[in-house]
Amino acid sequence: MKKIYILFGFIMVFAIGSIAKGAENEETAKSWQQQATSIRATVVSVAEELEKIGDKGNPDARGLIEDTKIQLEKGDKELAKGDKAMKKKEWENANYGYNMAWQYYVKAATAGLNAKRILTGQ
């Protein structure tokens, strides 16, 4: 449970800082890109661990594992949109894509960590 609170605390600090700037520019887009790719790495790590553990026949864990995969895929699609916009120097679209990716990755991380908690008791 501590991991979830630490993760959300970390995420909120970055989100509030980025929103406070309010500027739709390259620097902001790069910040969102870094945040999205950073949390993606965490989600992938959790997903890989869940693949090894399996759902152990637990329907709640099974649903959370499936949700982790779905949210990860949605995040990856939004990350690609952000990358495409970044290449075109469309900062507002890049910010939007990266922010949406980040949100999907947070959902994936939450589902994955909850599944892990159910399966391991941690």
- pLDDT, residue 121, reads 85
- pLDDT, residue 91, reads 95
Mean pLDDT of the residues in the chain: 88
Mean pLDDT of 13-21: 56
Mean pLDDT of 95-115: 96
Own/partner pairs for 14-18, CB < 8 Å, 24+ apart? 15/102
Whether pLDDT at 92 is above 90: yes
Whether pLDDT at 18 is above 70: no
